[in-house]
A and B are shown apart, each in its own frame.
Chain A
Amino acid sequence: MVIDGLRREGIVVVKMRNDVKRVAVNNKTKVEKILLKIGINPESVIVFKNGKLTTEDDYVEDGDEIEVLPVSSGG
């Protein structure tokens, strides 16, 4: 499929506390790359892929769902 004028192989849904984003990905895109793409510092969050806790070294593919949880919620 063609997204943003580029050939992409899939879409990943990224859920945040108050927002949901759909990110176009190529085959074997790292979680870290997706976070940086949407302006999230990987150091300030932890990530669940399809409901399971994972590391930003993990890869995603079309149809995966990423949930981002901020490390700090308090003062």
Chain B
Amino acid sequence: MIEMVLCDLCKKRKAVIKIRYAGLDFCKECLSKFVEQKVMLSLKRIGILNKLSGKYLVIALSGGKDSTNATYIMHKLSQEYDFKMKAVFVDEGIGEYSRQRRAIVMDLCRKLGIEYRIVTMKEEVGISTPEAVSILVKSRSSIKPCSVCGVFRRYLLNKVALDENADYVVTGHNLDDEVQTFIMSLIRGDIRSIAREAYSSGCEDDVPELVSRIKPLYLVYERESLVYFITHGFKRTSLSCPYARFSMRYAIREMINDLEYRRPGMKYRILALKERLGKSIREKVLSNIEIRHCKICGMPSSRDVCRACELKEFLVKLSQNYKGIYTK
């Protein structure tokens, strides 16, 4: 008979995850505390924890593990730190995948007693993700589905947050997401992105039309997030986004996980480098960027036309070439 592996912290309960960079096995209760302590730490580090009282937060809830965890933890904190929050679900129109996610979001919000708002990409932007992908495929464009969907989702979240008069937008980005984004910026040679992402929150206080973002899971490994999600019994969909595999992030994730296994804690070290590098170049890189307003939608942008409007115009042009489906 094999003895069960016990938690290295409490020495009592069955271990459910190995935290390789700490060399310790954790049970579900100790992991739960560990994850929640990391959330508190990341909120303290950006100096936001004690400013939350009386604030109104909009949380981007996709129904996936990370945004579900972020919603759950922030909801717990909302009682202690006295702030209000509303969940926002952006429906990309990806068939059964979006339908299942929408049902999960509605179910979670009802259970937690959180208000929610659903916005559809088709209604708000005029095009759904599958329609945009169809245009890109027919016109043999090299733009990846995640690039289009990501731009429109960020645009919509900011728009909804402004409409709701929210103080902050909360997203479920975890440590792995941040490290992958940093590596992708390096590969693309995108120094602006590195400078912008210097802090755990895009605190654009100087631009009133850009609502500051908070990432509570900034210090949480994706693997820890999944175990937290499962051990809390949250509902999940069996479907994955059909377009995710086309993303460059997919290949980078594999590479980083491989390195993390060989050198545990490497993701933390990359994150620390990202912050130090970002802080040291931030002023130099961003000081000469003038924030203007998009000529079409009026949202702040470093260019005459913002990325979302530029992408919309681009898709309209492409679809007109073959009498496409774009209507708005």
A residues with CB within 8 A of B: 28, 41-44, 46, 52-61, 69, 71-75
Contacts and interface: CB of A to CB of B under 8 A. Distances in A.
12 contacts: A28-B2, A44-B254, A46-B226, A54-B5, A57-B5, A58-B2, A58-B4, A58-B15, A59-B2, A60-B2, A71-B223, A74-B244
Contact of A75 (B15, B16, B243, B258): B243
Contacts of A53: 16-17, 28, 227, 230-231
Contacts of B28: 53
B261 interface: yes
Contacts of A58: 2, 4-5, 15
A61 B226 contact: no
Nearest to A44: B257
A9 to B, nearest CB: 12
Contact of A57 (B25, B243, B246): B25
Nearest to A54: B16
B250 interface: yes
Given A43-B257, A57-B18, A72-B253, 15 more contacts: A41-B257, A43-B223, A43-B258, A46-B17, A46-B223, A53-B17, A53-B28, A54-B5, A57-B5, A58-B4, A71-B222, A75-B146, A75-B241, A75-B245, A75-B247
A56 B18 contact: yes
Interface in B1-56: 2, 4-5, 14-18, 20, 25, 28
Interface SS of B by simple majority: helix
Given A74-B64, A75-B250, A43 B261 contact: yes
A12 B285 CA distance: 55
Interface in B50-71: 64
Give the residue among A55, A59, A60 with the most B Cβ atoms within 10 A: A55
B275 interface: no
Interface string B250-279: 100110011011000000000000000000
Contacts of B16: 53-55
Contacts of B245: 75
A73 B240 contact: yes
A26 to B, nearest CB: 13
Nearest to B26: A55
B28 to A, nearest CB: 8
Contacts of B249: 75
A72 to B, nearest CB: 6
A44 B251 CA distance: 13
A67 B197 CA distance: 37
Nearest to B244: A75
A55 B146 contact: no
Contacts of A52: 14
